[in-house]
Amino acid sequence: MPAAKAVLQEESHAPNMVAPQSTVATLSPIGPHLVEPPPAAPAKLSVPPPFQPRKATSFQPRVPVIIGEAAYRGTLPVDGIIIGQLGAAGSALTIKQRPRSGSGEAQPELDGELTFKDLLRVNGHVAGKIFSYKGTLIVDTSARVEAEINVAVCVVSGTVVGDIVGHERVEVGPGATVKGNIATPSLTIKPGAVFQGDCRMLKDRQGD
- Within a domain: residue 146? yes
Give CA separation, 206 vs 122, 167, 182, 202, 203, in Å. Answer: 29, 11, 20, 11, 8
- Within a domain: residue 34? no
Looking at residue 144, its pLDDT comes to 95
- Within a domain: residue 117? yes
Alpha-carbon distance of 173 to 120, in angstroms, equals 17
Alpha-carbon distance of 137 to 119, in angstroms, equals 6
pLDDT in tens, the chain (208 residues): 555 555 555 555 545 555 555 544 454 555 555 556 666 666 666 666 665 655 555 767 878 888 998 898 988 888 788 888 877 777 777 778 777 765 545 788 899 999 999 999 999 999 999 999 999 999 999 999 999 999 999 999 999 999 999 999 999 999 999 999 999 999 999 999 999 999 999 887 666 6
Alpha-carbon distance of 74 to 82, in angstroms, equals 17
Looking at residue 203, its pLDDT comes to 83
Looking at residue 40, its pLDDT comes to 65
- Within a domain: residue 33? no
Q: Do the bridges between strand 110-116 and strand 70-75 make them parallel or antiparallel, or are there none, so unpaired?
A: antiparallel
- Within a domain: residue 60? no
Looking at residue 169, its pLDDT comes to 96
Q: 190: domain range?
A: 66-201
- Within a domain: residue 1? no
Alpha-carbon distance of 170 to 199, in angstroms, equals 11
- Within a domain: residue 4? no
- Within a domain: residue 114? yes
Looking at residue 132, its pLDDT comes to 96
- Cβ atoms of 137 and 123 closer than 8 Å: no
- Cβ atoms of 182 and 167 closer than 8 Å: no
Q: Which residues contact 180 (CB under 8 A, 6 or more apart)?
A: 160, 161, 162, 163, 164, 196, 197
Q: How many domains does the chain have?
A: 1
Q: What is the pTM of this model?
A: 0.66
